[in-house]
Amino acid sequence: MFDYLIVGAGFAGAVLAERLAKKSNKKVLIIDKRKHIGGNAYDYYNESGILIHKYGPHIFHTNSPKVFAYLSEFTLWRPYEHKVLASVRNKLLPIPINLNTVNGLYGHNFDSAQLAAYFDQIKEPIETIRTSEDVVLSQVGRDLYETFFRGYTRKQWGMDPSELDKMVTSRIPTRIDCDDRYFTDTFQYMPLHGYTRMFENMLDHPNIHIALNTSYTEIKKYVGFKNLIFTGPVDEYFDYCYGHLPYRSLQFVHKTVDQAQFQSVAVVNYPNDQDYTRITEYKHLTGQEHAKTSITYEYPSWNGDPYYPVPKPENAALYQQYKLLTETLPNVHFVGRLGTYRYYNMDQVVAQALTLYDKLSGKKSVNEVLDPQTVKRHVPSPGVYSPNAIPAAPES
């Protein structure tokens, strides 16, 4: 008899397995229907020996000292600040929109004060910001909205930004300076030896049993467990009794090309002219040196694995119905991006899972202050480690 059956070996499941096994001495069985651990953050060395992300680019960033300190128990880190360019009107320009984006697009020579005045002139007055269209129009006006956001969002989500909750495009700031980083979080690092190594370290405990290629419906008849943690889609757990919650999917096309570099930054976005939304080149993220390079194209679709909960009011209302059902099951806990139908980044899922652990173990959640030594200890000097220095783990 297991104390916990955990469905899903992504961040949500792995954090809870690790905490319950190590800190509460619970016997845990963690399962995943996929053939690997790591959930959507899974990475592996492809046939050319290049470390790639099977489910598209995963860049770790957080403002939470607690999350950073926790994950630092399982990995060393490589400092990495993410940069993205957008391919528009035959130019490659920084996104989020900043001073260089506007000057490069229109041939202006604004400084920051002039750009702020220009935004004031072109932005559309919108009294209550409700949708993803409102967010962008109210900051940068129609031309920049149509050039950088409308087409990308229609492709990515299969609907117009005016139909999507404001939180979607609010993820992308507007800047009047030249800061071309995608994120401004305090902690911006990639796991030095990859995500999968980090997950292996998390799950390496005698109280944790792992079963891959195993779905919940299959195994629930055969194993005894006192509690269940479910990180799959919440509507699936309840047999879609209120109907399907929509999830946007992606098809990933992975390629390796016979050149050392494909593009100048890790990600190039294609808002308008292609069927794919973006191309990622992994060596920028991992720092790996290799004569070839691997890239991934992302094609959004409604078919395939559920990747993105779709933030819009009617979906939030449907999720609330399922949430009420979850509250009737005291020994079943729903967590993670699919389990709570939230467009969460990795660090938010880790934080959510740590909070659930505190609740399960009767501990009070505290916002720890990070000991500055943690960063020092876990970020080796450049050149000391490189992904090439460890033996290649082929796709499992």
Residues that bind ligand FAD (CB under 6 A): 7-13, 31-34, 39-41, 55-59, 215-216, 231-232, 250, 307, 336-338, 344-347, 349
Amino acid present at 141: G
Q: How far is the CB of 194 from ligand UDP (least distance, A)?
A: 19
Nearer to ligand UDP among residue 146 and residue 236 (C-beta): 146
Q: How far is the CB of 163 from ligand FAD (least distance, A)?
A: 20
Q: How far is the CB of 173 from ligand FAD (least distance, A)?
A: 16
Q: CB-hemisphere CA count at 13 Å for 312? A: 17
With beta carbons less than 8 A apart as the criterion, state whether 288 and 50 touch: yes
With beta carbons less than 8 A apart as the criterion, state whether 28 and 17 touch: yes
Token output for 373: 């030594």
Q: How far is the CB of 148 from ligand UDP (least distance, A)?
A: 5
Radius of gyration of the chain (CA): 22
Token output for 196: 């999968």
Tell me how far apart the alpha carbons of residues 369 and 147 are, in angstroms, rounded to a whole number.
42
Point out which residues bind ligand UDP (CB under 6 A). Answer: 86, 95, 148-149, 152-153, 156, 168-169, 171-172, 269, 271
Contact partner, 171, from ligand UDP, ligand FAD, none, Cβ < 5-8 Å per class: ligand UDP
Nearer to ligand UDP among residue 174 and residue 269 (C-beta): 269
Nearer to ligand UDP among residue 84 and residue 198 (C-beta): 84
Nearer to ligand FAD among residue 87 and residue 340 (C-beta): 340
Contact partner, 148, from ligand UDP, ligand FAD, none, Cβ < 5-8 Å per class: ligand UDP
Tell me how far apart the alpha carbons of residues 288 and 334 are, in angstroms, rounded to a whole number.
37
Contact partner, 40, from ligand FAD, ligand UDP, none, Cβ < 5-8 Å per class: ligand FAD
Nearer to ligand FAD among residue 68 and residue 119 (C-beta): 68
Tell me how far apart the alpha carbons of residues 323 and 339 are, in angstroms, rounded to a whole number.
10
Q: How far is the CB of 56 from ligand FAD (least distance, A)?
A: 3
With beta carbons less than 8 A apart as the criterion, state whether 290 and 260 touch: yes
- What SS3 class is residue 99? helix
Tell me how far apart the alpha carbons of residues 35 and 176 are, in angstroms, rounded to a whole number.
46
With beta carbons less than 8 A apart as the criterion, state whether 84 and 267 touch: yes
Q: How far is the CB of 257 from ligand UDP (least distance, A)?
A: 23
